[in-house]
Amino acid sequence: MQKKDTPGLISLLPKGLTSFFEEVGDTSRFAARFLREIWFPPYEFKEVLRQSYEIGYRSLPLVGITSFIIGLVLTLQSRPTLAEFGAESWLPAMVGVSILREIGPVITALICAGKIGSSIGAEIGSMKVTEQIDAMEVSGTNPFKYIVVSRIVATTLMIPLLVIIGDAIALYGSYLAVNINDKVSLTLFFEQVFQKVEFSDLIPSVIKSVFFGFCIGLIGTYKGYHTKKGTEGVGRSANSAVVISSLLIFIIDLVAVQITSFLGLI
């Protein structure tokens, strides 16, 4: 006797929601594969180094300029409000804490999501549609290790470094902005900053930058690796890599704030 088909719970969900959960499941499997494959040889050290150069060093000018402007603008805009309370002397400390804890990591990660996420998504996507990934496989190379693992490792290592460098440049921008109205030496400015900044401000922001980097690499490679429908799909992969990783950066940030607050680090 033929069994009568009964609609399962999943079939009752709207199509958009089903594909959302499918996407989440596929991405999780992709991340799990990364975590499984990273420990076993062959290790693609050369490719990790090359990617670190491409991702880290080549993003430095953009991250540097943006951070400098953010530090400068934040200081100039905060000054009138603090001046109302006669608290201009708190400016270095306030800007320092804002940049190191929140603005530095998030802005740098968002810039990198745009620059690196899209480039990873588009590069791997075009490799996929032009069969370069297949060619790699017939050449005795595990394309997942060579392409995916190396890029995720590179972004996970490079984004925290870019965040730290970006923070330093933003603070320098702030120092210049303070000097538009006052005369403060560089030593005094940084003394005032570090009076209010502690390691407990820096460590959580570096840790969350590691997750930002992982997320940018993961989403970029996942979207690129699963590109379909030719060149149109390449554009779509690049675009969705940026959108999803940017969204995930805010979600990770929200979770990180909750955790640091729970641990009493704020």
Partner 1 sequence: MRNYNKISGEQIPLPLRDQNNDDKIIHIQKLNKSFGENHVLRGVDLKLNKGENIVVLGKSGSGKSILIKCIAGLVRYDSGSVKVLGNEIKELTSAQLDDLRVKIGFVFQSSALYDSMTVRKNLEFPLRRHQLKLNQHEILEIVESTLQDVGLLHAIDLMPSELSGGMRKRIGLARALVLNPEIVLYDEPTTGLDPITSKEITNLMLNTKKKYNTSSIIISHDMHCAKLTSDRVVVLSDGICYAEGTFDELQKSKDPIIHSFFI
Whole-angstrom distance, CA of residue 46 vs CA of residue 147: 12
* 6 scored as a contact of partner 1 (CB under 8 A): no
Q: By C-beta, is 132 or 246 nearer to partner 1?
A: 132
Q: Find the shortest distance in angstroms from Cβ 245 to partner 1.
A: 22
Using CB under 8 A as the binding criterion, the count of chain residues that bind partner 1 stands at 14
Q: By C-beta, is 95 or 124 nearer to partner 1?
A: 124
Whole-angstrom distance, CA of residue 164 vs CA of residue 103: 12
Q: By C-beta, is 50 or 181 nearer to partner 1?
A: 50
Binding mask 172-191 for partner 1 (x = CB under 8 A): --------------------
Q: Find the shortest distance in angstroms from Cβ 231 to partner 1.
A: 12
Q: Which of 162, 189, 176, 166 is nearest to 73 (CA)?
A: 176
Structure tokens at 152: 């995720």
Whole-angstrom distance, CA of residue 67 vs CA of residue 171: 8
Q: How many CA atoms lie within 13 A of 155 on its CB side?
A: 31
Q: By C-beta, is 11 or 77 nearer to partner 1?
A: 11
Binding mask 124-153 for partner 1 (x = CB under 8 A): --xx--xxx-xxxxxxxxx-----------
59-79 burial, b if ≥16 CB within 10 A, otherwise e? beebbbebbbebbbebbbebb
| Number of residues that make up the chain | 266
Which positions lie near partner 1, rule CB under 8 A? 126-127, 130-132, 134-142
